[in-house]
Amino acid sequence: MLKKVLGSVVAVLFLVNMYGCFALFAGAAAGGGTAFWLSGKLTQEFHASYERTVNASAMALKSLNLKITKESKEAEMTQFRSAYTDGKEIWIDVRKVTESSTKVEVRVGVVKPDQAACDKILKRIQSYL
């Protein structure tokens, strides 16, 4: 019986790994912290307060010489808008998950989202946390 269960677990892990989702699965099992690309946005959950993450996002844009063109703030969500000099629009959404964790979504570009640019911005936000 134990061999069948172990064999099933190994088979599932093998299938997950084959389809490229192993890093996402491992990140979820380890408690988050892994960024993932979905629907043209790069998303990551941080173990930091909402206000701290909002401040880090604003500082990240400023440090990259990207002017904040619009900031919309609600009770548990803040959105920053900016743009690269080549015209690509930037959206950063900061959502409160709990008192000590937030979710950040970064999108660069409308028609053809730029994953590398999103990653650069998200890493800069992380550096300020």
What are the structural domains, with CATH classification, of the chain? Answer: 1-31 (no CATH), 35-127 (3.30.310.80)
| pLDDT given for residue 35 in this prediction | 73
The residue among 83, 69, 84, 80 whose CA lies nearest residue 104 is 80
Percent of the chain exceeding pLDDT 90 equals 57
Query: pLDDT (tens digit, 9 = 90+) per residue, 32-57?
Result: 466 767 678 899 999 999 999 999 99
Query: pLDDT (tens digit, 9 = 90+) per residue, 11-31?
Result: 544 544 544 444 444 333 323
Is residue 112 predicted with pLDDT exceeding 70?
yes
Q: What is the DSSP letter of 37?
A: E
Higher pLDDT, 85 or 93: 93
Q: What angle do CA 41, 29, 102 make, to 5 degrees?
A: 45
